[in-house]
Structures are given as C-alpha cells and as structure tokens.
Amino acid sequence: MSVKGLSGWHATNAKQFGQDRWRSLYAALWSPKSHAALVSPFERHADELVRRRGMQPIEGVPFCWVEHGQSNGAEGAEAAGSRQDEQGVIYWLDAASAASLFFLPLPAGPSTVLDMCAAPGGKSLVLASRIFASAAPAMAGADAEGTPDAHDHGHGHRTATTGRLVCNEHSRPRLDRLAATLRAFLPAELLDHGQCVTFTNDDAANPRQVALLAPFDGVLLDAPCTSDRHLLHSGPSGLAKWASGTPKGHADRQLRLATAALGMLKPGGHLLYSTCALSEVENDQVIERLLSRAARDPSCVQCEAVTPTQMMDMYKAHISPHTRPPDGDAQGGDCMSSTKSVGVRVCWEATRVGVVCLPDRSMGCGPLYVALVKRAK
Ligand SMILES: C[S@@+](CC[C@H](N)C(=O)[O-])C[C@H]1O[C@@H](n2cnc3c(N)ncnc32)[C@H](O)[C@@H]1O
C-alpha cells in the first residue's frame, strides 16, 4: 500500500529510525545547516586569508576550516545566492560532504577520477584538492596525503600536473555554473593547458563522452535523490508530493547510474556512492541490489562490498595524522568516528553496507549516506 504526503513521510521515517531517534532527527533537520569553509589549497595567500578571517582547521576534514568557531558562516553567502567568496577561493559546503571524499582509495601515483553527477561542484573541488594539491606547510591544518609528483609552478601554487578529474553533469546550465565555480577555485594550468580537469555533458546512465575517457581508478556517484532536508525546507507543497514510490523511483535510477559507474572502473577501482536521502531504499538497498545482481549473474561487472569498518580504516589512512579524528566517540553513542573541532562535528554511524552522517548527532551536518564498492580484479 502506498503511503503519501507529510504524514506518510513521518510514518516511514519513524519506522526506519524508531520513534525516539526520528523525533530528534526531525528536529535537527529544521536546525540551521552547518557549513565548512573549503579554502583553495592552490591559493598562494591561503595561509594569510585563514589567519585574517580567524579560521581554524576542522579536525579530520582536510582543506576545511571553521570561521570564528561558527560552522554556519555561509548562511549569509547562501542567502545572497553565492556559495563562494574571496574571489572564489572559499567554497562553503557541508563538512560531511567534504569528509566523504576521503573514503575513496586512490593509487599512490597519479590517479584518474570521474565525478559522475558533479554540479554544483562542492565535491569536485574537494576531489581536485585531494588529487592535485601537494601538502603545503602553510596550510598545516588542511593537508591530505602528499602527491609524489608535485611541482611548484612559480605562482606559489603547488600542483601535481598528472592525474585527471573528469566532471560530468547532465544539465547544461548546471554544467556551465560548475565550470565557472571550478575556474575560480583552481589554477588555470589544471584546466586549460594541462587538461587535468575536464568537463563532460553526458547522461551518466548512458555514458558516451565519459566512456571514451574510461577506465578510472575511482568514480564518485553523488546521486540525484529525494534530498529530504531540502524537501522539508521547500514548504508544505514539497512533502505533500512525497509518496512511498518517490524513493523507489530514485532508487531505480540510482541503480542504473551505479551500474554504469562500475563499468567505467579499472579492475580493483572503487565506486564511492553517496546520497543526501534518508531512506534506506536509496542508500543500503541500492548497494545491496548492485552486489546481489553481480553475485547472481556472472555476465554483470563483478564487484565486492567494502564494510563500514574497512571504510573507516581507509578514511583514517587517507588523511594526515594531525587531522585524524579519534577512534570512537564517547558522546556519540553509536558513532564509529567523529570530528569534534570547535563548532563542527561529523559523526559516521555504520549502516548495513555503508556509513551515514545525520544532523542530530553531527551538529547540523548531513544527512549524508556513503558506501564504497570495489570492482573485482
Ligand atoms: C546531488 S547533485 C550532485 C551534487 C554535487 N556532487 C556537489 O557536491 O555539488 C546531483 C546532480 O546530478 C545531476 N544529474 C541528474 N541525473 C543525471 C544523469 N543522468 N547524468 C548526469 N548527471 C545527472 C543533477 O543535475 C545534479 O546536478
């Protein structure tokens, strides 16, 4: 039987999370969204900028900062219709979104990554920072793993000029805005001459241009989804249109996109799947359907699950020791790991085949579901 509208949405979530948890989660979905400042590691005055603005690094989230102990500093910027400031070198985003990219294993040398559904571009910026920026001493709080073949281009930037990031987006206007965002944040040599960062305009479920650039070491599928928080804040008409078929419809499309993603990976490469949906239908169940179909049908691309515990181990291995979050968290109850910088908390809870960051335990960050699938060798 189909359940519909606001009451159906409440009943479905109460069933999935339990009444008590749903009550606290629902209240947290109304609270102001928490934002981190992603500061371009390619900007030569970045250290001066973070000092001038009184920013502190976010523990466990490379390249991200909190301003004056406040993690909602972007509200004004967002209200004004801009998510970038300081000529584009600061991009405001959910700290969980930024953190999620550090689950993705990449080879030690140059890596090739596809961001399948990339606009508006926050995760592309973090991926580009991770792939191309070497550890810069001035950004001591924000360094990730070093890149072995980094070069100083004489502009004070340090970038690795090998490796590739392909940003794909189906909507042409959104792709144009994404390209403008990346142009403001990244050095020109990565975009124009180096062709290290390129853009494609495919329907990712039926890739053509993108398929010519495959195979990739890693594919990010930050999938179009129900986006419950956005739906809640879009006013009564948003949730009035919700029905139990809504997550199911998204899930079928997500499965098609995930199947296409697997086909574009190198053997041993990883698919990083994420959504900002609450429903397990769009989260664990999509990954479980992908895995079980591969297990049943030898003609499908073969893949294996990465467990939540393995995911957390990988996450910690991908960030430098001084930005590493502590193991476990006494305050967090079920949280596997969290960051507890002033004003920011990203708490990852294990699900059956992934991890989730929810705003009631993460000071307004999330919702964000993340799972990792490895293409068999
Ligand atoms: C959740 S958003 C991605 C957010 C982005 N990763 C970020 O961090 O800014 C999903 C995006 O997928 C795009 N999209 C939807 N269907 C698509 C398809 N079949 N192929 C490629 N992009 C698609 C949407 O236009 C939207 O921009």
Block means of pLDDT (10 residues each) for the chain, 377 residues, are 90 98 97 88 90 89 82 46 71 95 93 97 96 55 40 40 90 97 92 88 97 97 97 91 95 98 98 98 98 95 96 88 52 70 87 96 94 96
Q: What is the pLDDT of residue 83?
A: 65
Which of 114, 117, 168 should be mutated for ligand 1, with most atoms under 8 A from CB? 117
Q: What is the pLDDT of residue 319?
A: 83
Tell me which of 276, 303, 335, 347 is the catalytic residue.
Answer: 276
Q: What is the pLDDT of residue 325?
A: 53
Q: What are phi and psi of 335, to 5 degrees?
A: -65, 135
Alpha helix positions (H), the chain: 5-17, 19-30, 46-52, 75-79, 95-100, 122-132, 172-185, 188, 209-213, 228-233, 236-240, 245-263, 284-296, 308-317
Q: What is the pLDDT of residue 298?
A: 93
Q: What is the pLDDT of residue 327?
A: 55
Q: Which residues are annotated as a binding site?
A: 117-123, 169, 203, 222
DSSP characters over 268-289: EEEEEEEE----TTTTHHHHHH
Q: What is the pLDDT of residue 72?
A: 56
**What is the separation, in whole angstroms, between the first and last Cα of the chain?**
42
DSSP class of 12: H
Beta bridge partners of 356: 349, 369
Q: So where are the chain's domains?
A: 5-375
Q: What is the pLDDT of residue 370?
A: 98
Instruction: Determine whether the shortest distance from the Cβ of 174 to ligand 1 is under 6 A.
Output: yes
The vertex-374 CA angle with 371 and 377, nearest 5°, equals 175
Residue 371 contacts residue 287 (beta carbons within 8 Å): yes
Residue 338 contacts residue 347 (beta carbons within 8 Å): yes
Q: What is the pLDDT of residue 44?
A: 87
Instruction: Determine whether the shortest distance from the Cβ of 205 to ligand 1 is under 6 A.
Output: yes
Cα→Cα distances 79→74, 108, 165, 363, Å: 8, 40, 30, 20
CA–centroid distance, residue 318 to ligand 1 (Å)? 25
Q: What is the pLDDT of residue 285?
A: 98
225 catalytically annotated: no
Alpha helix positions (H), 81-190: 95-100, 122-132, 172-185, 188
Q: What is the pLDDT of residue 347?
A: 93
Closest Cα to residue 115, out of 176, 36, 170?
Answer: 170
Q: Which atom of ligand 1 is found nearest the CA of 174?
A: 27
Q: Is the peptide bond before 120 cis (omega within 30 degrees of 0)?
A: yes
Which of 170, 219, 253, 275 should be mutated for ligand 1, with most atoms under 8 A from CB? 170
Dihedral in degrees, nearest 10, Cα atoms 256, 262, 263, 266: 170
What's the whole-model pTM score?
0.91
Q: Which atom of ligand 1 is found nearest the CA of 222?
A: 6
- Superfamily of domain 5-375 in CATH is Vaccinia Virus protein VP39 (3.40.50.150)
Type of residue found at 323: T
Determine which residue's CA is closest to atom 12 belonging to ligand 1. 117
Type of residue found at 133: A
Q: What is the pLDDT of residue 159?
A: 52
